[in-house]
């Protein structure tokens, strides 16, 4: 029986619809399966219902922000792979991204995220989406 190749699944969580759409488009064009959520609460529900291979989350969001989400995800699944992105809030993005790293984010990106840099990091962490 032939085994079907695993297509890495990525969950993108960002409160800004244009950012979600851009990341989803870039990742889907590269062959990844992508789901999205507009805040940390919805993202957590998504993950619990259908775990992803990688979560890319914004830090500054309404409802549940990214730092709290990273803590919760790591408590539920310590091995979960997380990338954090931020454009900053009342302060620059760097302090948020440093905290995200301390809490377990594997990679961090300041907005605007460069698609080629993101795709390279995604491939390093979850593998290529296309089957050789």
Q: Is residue 131 part of a domain?
A: no
Q: Is residue 72 part of a domain?
A: yes
Q: Is residue 30 part of a domain?
A: yes
What pLDDT sits at residue 90?
57
Range of the domain at 85: 9-126
What pLDDT sits at residue 87?
82
Read off the pLDDT of residues 28-81 as tens digits, 9 standing for 90 and up.
999 999 999 999 999 999 999 999 999 999 998 988 899 999 999 999 999 999
Q: How confident is the model at residue 128 (pLDDT cuts 50, 70, 90)?
A: confident
Read off the pLDDT of residues 88-127 as tens digits, 9 standing for 90 and up.
665 566 788 999 999 999 999 999 999 999 999 999 999 8
Distance in Å from the first CA to the final CA of the chain: 19
**Domain count for the chain:** 1
What pLDDT sits at residue 10?
98
Q: Is residue 81 part of a domain?
A: yes
Q: Is residue 107 part of a domain?
A: yes
Quick check: 131 pLDDT over 50?
no
CATH number at residue 118: 3.40.50.2300
* DSSP string for residues in 66-92: HHHHHHHHHHH-TT--EEEEE--SSS-
Q: Is residue 3 part of a domain?
A: no
Both tokens assigned to 116: 């080629």
Q: Is residue 43 part of a domain?
A: yes
Q: How confident is the model at residue 129 (pLDDT cuts 50, 70, 90)?
A: confident
Give the DSSP H/E element, type plus range, for residue 34.
strand 33-37
What pLDDT sits at residue 40?
95
Q: Is residue 4 part of a domain?
A: no
What pLDDT sits at residue 132?
38
β-pairing, 33-37 vs 54-58, is unpaired
Read off the pLDDT of residues 11-27 as tens digits, 9 standing for 90 and up.
999 999 999 999 999 99
Q: For residue 104, what are the CA distances in angstroms to 6, 70, 120, 126?
A: 25, 7, 19, 16
């Amino acid at each position: 029986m032939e085994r079907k190749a695993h297509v890495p699944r990525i969950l993108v969580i960002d409160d800004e619809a244009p950012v979600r759409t851009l990341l989803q488009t870039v990742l889907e064009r590269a062959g990844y399966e992508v789901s999205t959520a507009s805040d940390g609460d919805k993202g957590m529900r998504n993950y619990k219902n259908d775990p992803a291979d990688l979560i890319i989350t914004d830090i500054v969001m309404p409802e549940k922000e990214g730092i709290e989400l990273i803590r919760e995800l790591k408590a539920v699944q310590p091995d979960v792979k997380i990338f954090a992105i931020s454009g900053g809030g009342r302060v620059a993005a760097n302090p948020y991204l440093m905290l995200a790293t301390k809490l377990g984010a594997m990679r961090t990106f300041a907005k605007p995220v460069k698609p080629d840099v993101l795709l390279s990091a995604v491939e390093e962490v979850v593998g290529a989406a296309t089957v050789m």
